[in-house]
Amino acid sequence: MPVTAGPIYPGIKKGLIFAIDPARKDSYPGSGATVVDLVNGNTTTASSSPTFNSNGYWEFDTPSDDFIFSTNPLYENSITSFTLSTWINITLSDHNGGVGVMAATAPGANPASGGFWMGYDDRNATHSPVEGIAWNCKTASGYQRGKSNNNAISNNTWHNVTLVLDNQATLYIDGVSSTNRTQDSSGNYSTVNNEFSIGSIDDSSYDYIGLLSTLILYNRALSPSEVTQNYNRLKGRFGLS
């Protein structure tokens, strides 16, 4: 089913600081390597671009596919709480034994440098549960991480994944809370002015393999009802009832 464009974002707009949408020609013209942030006009030119599908999404199908924005919008807006939301469609076996990062404030995997990432994690039992959507945030005491409940993501189906982070990190799958935990207030995911990466961490590791459409950031923690409202406003674009 084609993914159709709407306004900059047809859901909640209060606090929106970043939005890309391949269904909109003012965000992606349909060819080339340039992607435009619809909120601020910031651009990135990818050295290796995901494959664009005219139905309104990108396919990240090789390890080098990613978009790297040179400015971290969380840092630029002095964020202490935020919401990250995107629409994905993956084949679970493509990440067998590994991690596919959808978005990161690079280098999100480096505890010395700060940052966070959100992605699909299928590594091992020490990252319990073994398989699911995960987030990882650097704090003064080291890493903090969480993961969705098992079976929250199904194969080859569009899903909305939303991470709300303030004093608690809550992960939502399709508008429903999947897991949450208290967040260390020393998290410095926004204090480093490095890249904002989509599809990998810092163009070097944890490559995402799958389909990705709209990706947005807010400078505040959305409420549970707002997360559900956003899901309901966009689910029709992805053939969900």
CB 137 within 8 A of CB 187: yes
2 found inside a domain: no
pLDDT at 38: 93
110 found inside a domain: yes
11 found inside a domain: no
CB 171 within 8 A of CB 146: yes
Q: What angle do CA 125, 128, 130 make, to 5 degrees?
A: 55
29 found inside a domain: yes
1 found inside a domain: no
5 found inside a domain: no
Q: How confident is the model at residue 95 (pLDDT cuts 50, 70, 90)?
A: confident
Residue pLDDT, tens place only, 6-34: 456 788 999 999 999 999 999 999 998 89
The CATH number of residue 231's host domain is: 2.60.120.200
What's the domain range around 195?
Answer: 16-238
Select from 19, 28, 18, 96 the least CA-distant residue to 56: 28
CB 85 within 8 A of CB 160: yes
Residue pLDDT, tens place only, 43-66: 998 878 899 999 999 999 888 899
10 found inside a domain: no
Q: How many domains does the chain have?
A: 1
pLDDT at 5: 43
7 found inside a domain: no
